[in-house]
């Protein structure tokens, strides 16, 4: 689906682009769960525009950042309104859009603008910083009146850090917005009619996260030669080692780091480690230098903190991973001695990354203290987590997510069924299902993840799981000959969703049930459309029926949404 065709779903937007002034058609009213109805009937004026504007926020994530130029369109022949760069506008945020940006419309024209850190109901003055064919981006200059559901953000970095953009929006409002965004996508991109009597039973209310802070088991911090400071604090800029930074990238900058002493998303023991390192790493006597992404000089690149649990005591255990540009253990020795005294630290490793890129994955890894991996318990199974392993970032909510997946799979439990686990990662989903099936076949493109999956199967004494390395975006005619026809297919792709080759294979395979797990509702809705309705342009017929779609909030205070979808063969 092209970006322009998606934009035509939005009342006013197409007309604003062509200069034609028309009254917007009323948006279709969807049948929503009771939870959503309470929201829509809240009497808040900005909510009346949410449904017709939220499809833009839903559609944009389906387009990769590299394809952003697709927003460009030929200049209209008729006169129309395009804000100029540098112009200031008074705006009201209507809804949350791509990457948590606020979606607004210019008064009297309907022209769409996006503003970072603007929240629904907020009236503000914004300055245009960038304009494209059908939308513009603005930076907030001044808030005139605050948004609805305002709360005090508990994190001191919330106004500048790019990690938790909605901390000052009540959590109830956050999950309502996510639920509504998924529903709009299913209707407009997935082409499922809200007039269908079964629609309300298919769309499930979002599952909120009980733990809204300290839920991440992995955080990656970056070292930099200069702290990033907001404009009002630029006079406090420091030079030399005192100006070094260890923290999170400032939004939109690969080379600017906001210094962070404590992050409310990671565990308390991880914050203890972070604070201990911040106390001493700048000390000139240690001779430590941060990596400079421009000159490619310097030693310290990243600090990765991972939290697990001891399988015997259930207490937290920490892995500390220093990512450096070269192997110089003598330079890290003072830091290792300091943090190894923290009881929860059971592993300190050093990944060596000599490339100029910003990745934290090393070419070689050395153990500086303790063991090479930590453990975590999920759905009654033990998983070993190494420095570069993939593992669900929110362990608590992963328990909820995996229970939903198991329920959707509808396993008989008699050990007779075959499960095909696509994009299996380290095998967490397939292994949790293995106790109730005959065999699990998992496919994953990352070699290290496949190795971890095999190791985790052995660790838990699971012998009925086979994990195979393979690129599911490049499957050939022989794919499917290595395993018997599955009773259930689990598909958990990354943000771009499934390749058309894989969708064609699944439509030909005709497994009785597919459980689609998605971290990107936009591409999820697109793939559900293909699997259920087919692709007319390619003469492909769909053969599945969507039985349920369950949004899950895995990452509070962020725009990310997870979905678990059940499809059954018609």
Q: Is 392 within any annotated ligand binding site?
A: yes
Residue 533 host element (H or E): helix 521-533
What ranges in 410-509 are assigned the alpha helix state H?
Answer: 428-433, 447-459, 500-509
Chain centre to alpha carbon of residue 535: 28
Would you call 256 helix, strand, or coil by DSSP?
coil
Greatest alpha-carbon pair distance for the chain in Å reads 72
44 vs 58: CA distance, rounded Å: 21
Rounded Cα–Cα distance for residues 365 and 492 (Å)? 29
Active site residue 519: yes
The pair of structure tokens assigned to 311 is 């399988």
Tell me the sheet residues that pair with 548: 566
Residue closest to 568 by CA, chosen among 518, 506, 524, 519: 506
Residue of 499, 556, 489 lying closest to 523 (CA atoms)? 499
> If we measure between CA atoms, which residue out of 87, 6, 107, 124 comes closest to residue 54?
6
Rounded CA-CA distance 14/12 in Å is: 6
For residue 514, the Cα-to-chain-centroid distance in whole angstroms is 22
- Side-chain half-sphere CA neighbours of 459 within 13 A: 21
Q: What is the DSSP string of 89-115?
A: EEEEEEEE-GGGPEEEE-TTT--EEEE
Tell whether 184 is in a known binding site.
no
- Determine if residue 383 is labeled as part of a ligand binding site: no
Return the sign of the alpha-carbon dihedral for residues 266, 270, 272, 276. Answer: negative
Contact assessment for residue 431 and residue 460, using Cβ atoms and an 8 Å cutoff: yes
- Bridge partners of 369, per DSSP, are 348
- Close Cβ partners of 547 (under 8 Å, ≥ 6 residues apart): 202, 566, 567, 568
**Nearest residue to 134 via CA among 278, 17, 260, 258:** 17
DSSP state of 338: H
479 assigned ligand-binding residue: no
Question: 3-state secondary structure string, 162-197?
Answer: CCCCCCCECHHHHHHHHHHHHHHHHHHCCCCCCCCC
Closest Cα partner for 14 from 85, 96, 148, 105?
Answer: 105
Nearest-angstrom CA–CA distance, 520 and 526:
10
Selected catalytic residue, list 104, 209, 519, 563: 519
The pair phi, psi for residue 383, each rounded to 5°, is -125, 135
Reduce the DSSP state of residue 207 to 3 states and report it.
strand
Binding site per annotation, positions for S-adenosyl-L-methionine: 392, 423, 444, 492
Binding-site residues sit at 392, 423, 444, 492
Q: Which residues are catalytic?
A: 519
């Amino acid at each position: 689906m092209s970006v322009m065709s998606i934009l035509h779903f939005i009342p006013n937007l197409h007309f604003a682009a062509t200069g034609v002034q028309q009254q917007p058609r009323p948006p279709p009213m969807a049948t929503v769960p009771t939870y959503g109805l309470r929201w829509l009937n809240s009497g808040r004026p900005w909510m009346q525009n949410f449904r017709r504007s939220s499809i833009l926020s839903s559609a944009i994530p389906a387009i990769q950042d590299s394809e952003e130029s697709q927003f460009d369109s030929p200049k209209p022949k008729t006169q129309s309104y395009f804000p100029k760069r540098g112009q200031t506008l008074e705006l009201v945020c209507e809804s949350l859009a791509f990457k948590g940006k606020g979606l607004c419309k210019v008064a009297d024209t309907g022209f769409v603008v996006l503003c970072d850190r603007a929240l629904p109901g907020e009236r503000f003055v914004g300055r245009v910083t960038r304009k494209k064919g059908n939308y513009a981006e603005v930076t907030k200059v001044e808030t005139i009146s605050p948004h609805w559901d305002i709360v005090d953000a508990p994190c001191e970095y919330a106004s500048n850090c790019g990690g938790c953009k909605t901390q000052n929006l009540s959590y109830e409002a956050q999950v309502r917005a996510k639920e509504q965004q998924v529903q709009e996508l299913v209707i407009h991109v997935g082409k499922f009619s809200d007039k269908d009597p079964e629609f309300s039973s298919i769309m499930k209310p979002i599952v909120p996260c009980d733990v809204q802070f300290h839920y991440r088991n992995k955080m990656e911090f970056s070292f930099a030669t200069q702290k990033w400071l907001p404009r009002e604090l630029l006079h406090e800029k420091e030079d030399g080692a005192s100006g070094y930074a260890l923290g999170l990238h400032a939004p939109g900058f690969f080379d600017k780091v906001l210094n962070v002493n404590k992050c409310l998303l990671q565990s308390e023991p991880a914050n203890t480690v972070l604070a201990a390192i911040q106390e001493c790493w700048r000390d000139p006597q240690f001779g430590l230098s941060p990596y400079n992404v421009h000159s490619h000089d310097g030693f310290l690149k990243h600090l990765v903190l991972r939290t697990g649990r001891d399988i015997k005591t259930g207490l937290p255990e920490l892995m500390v991973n220093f990512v450096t540009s070269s192997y110089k253990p003598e330079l890290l020795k003072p830091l290792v001695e300091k943090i190894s005294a923290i009881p929860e630290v059971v592993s300190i490793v050093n990944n060596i990354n000599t490339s100029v890129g910003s990745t934290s994955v090393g070419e070689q890894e050395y153990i500086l203290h303790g063991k090479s991996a930590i453990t975590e318990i999920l759905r009654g199974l033990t998983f070993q987590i190494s420095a570069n392993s993939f593992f669900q970032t929110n362990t608590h909510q992963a328990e909820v997510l995996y229970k939903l997946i198991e329920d959707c799979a509808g396993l008989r439990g008699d050990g007779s069924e075959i499960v095909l686990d696509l994009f299996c990662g380290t095998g967490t989903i397939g292994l949790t299902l293995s106790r109730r099936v005959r065999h699990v076949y998992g496919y994953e493109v990352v070699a290290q993840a496949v190795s971890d999956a095999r190791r985790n199967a052995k660790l838990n004494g699971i012998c009925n799981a086979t994990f195979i390395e393979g690129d599911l975006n490049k499957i050939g005619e022989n794919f499917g000959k290595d395993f018997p026809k599955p009773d259930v297919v689990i598909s958990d792709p990354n943000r771009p969703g499934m390749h058309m080759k894989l969708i064609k294979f699944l439509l030909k395979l005709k497994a009785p049930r597919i459980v689609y797990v998605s971290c990107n509702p936009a591409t999820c809705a697109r793939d559900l459309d293909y699997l259920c309705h087919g692709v007319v342009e390619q003469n492909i017929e769909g053969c599945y029926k969507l039985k349920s779609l369950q949004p899950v909030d895995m990452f509070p205070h962020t725009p990310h949404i997870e979905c678990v979808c059940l499809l059954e063969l018609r």
